[in-house]
Amino acid sequence: MDATPPDPETAAGLLAAFTERIRLADRDVAPGHVVEHVDGVLRTYPADPREPGAMIESPLGLGDHPDATIARHRDFFVERGQSVEWKTYTHDQPVDLGQRLSAAGFTRGEDEALMLGELERLVGPVDVPQGITVRVLEVDEPLERITALTDVVWGADTRWVAERLADERRRKPEEIEIVVAQEGDVGAFLCAGWVRFSPGTDFAGMWGGHTHPDHRRRGLYRATLARRATLALERGHRYARVDASPASEPILTALGLMRVGTTIPFVLEP
């Protein structure tokens, strides 16, 4: 684990540690993706251009010619015919990065709150409705019920979500766990989230947290979050990282996580 922990009492301390240990250390790269550093920019992508998941990040900024740098990366993915997300943070440079990406043809997505804090704040007993089971999926368990849930939540075809999760579990099963809340022991999934462990760091990322629209406000997100935080603590991690939606942010704030910034996706569809 990291030798010198950040100051957990300050948002600035946590953000600095997150930037150094996750972003600058390429800890958000999906298993099996090509990893390239070009012009000081990180780009990662599946070798097959038909697959989703290509990402760009620029934690070091874009240098003296930001528009030219953006254009080079845009053209790279256009030539591949591959969609890509440029993941930005509000403290990234230049300060008008989002405007420049929009001008280059990227489409702005929905803002999410970057929230950091002690994992201990997320654990504890959580009451769930009678008949609901919260559990960790077996490593070889099929994920069709994940797709059934995310299709309803997003109102779209989301098979790629389960496919990417299955690929991660196949390549690095020790770095991801999936937690679900379901009807009984064999019923439909009502909420699903996953925790990604970052080996050698104090951070664990909380992702997903999708809850069926008919079962919100029943404590299911909170229950799956607590189970994921417990798994991370058991592995020696100390801090949680969440890219939170407007629905999740109030819950996380009440639990004691701090909003340290905003992350905004800009997507290019060739």
User: From CA 175, how far away is CA 168, in angstroms rounded?
Assistant: 8
Residues 87 and 149 reside in one and the same domain: no
The answer to whether position 270 is within a domain reads no
Share of the chain above pLDDT 90, in %: 91
The whole-number average pLDDT for the span 247-253 is: 96
CA distances from 129 to 182, 209, 216, 223, 248 (A): 11, 17, 12, 11, 20
Tell me the pLDDT band of 247, cut-offs 50, 70 and 90: very high
Share of the chain above pLDDT 70, in %: 97
In 10 A of CB 228, how many CB atoms?
28
pLDDT of residue 56: 98
Residues 164 and 97 reside in one and the same domain: no
Tokens of 28: 């958000």
pLDDT, tens digit, for every residue of 158-182?
999 999 999 999 999 999 999 999 9
DSSP 222: H
The domain of 234 spans 117-261
pLDDT, tens digit, for every residue of 29-47?
999 999 999 999 999 999 9
pLDDT of residue 76: 98
The residue from 114, 149, 166 where one domain ends is 114
The answer to whether position 39 is within a domain reads yes
Residues 83 and 61 reside in one and the same domain: yes
Q: 4 pLDDT exceeds 80?
A: no
Tell me the pLDDT band of 186, cut-offs 50, 70 and 90: confident
DSSP 189: E
pLDDT, tens digit, for every residue of 70-114?
999 999 999 999 999 999 999 999 999 999 999 999 999 999 999
Residues 73 and 156 reside in one and the same domain: no
- Backbone φ/ψ region at 145: left (φ over 0), alpha (ψ -120 to 50), beta: alpha
Instruction: Name beta bridge partners: 265.
Output: 87
Name the residue among 228, 240, 132, 233 with its Cα closest to residue 189.
132
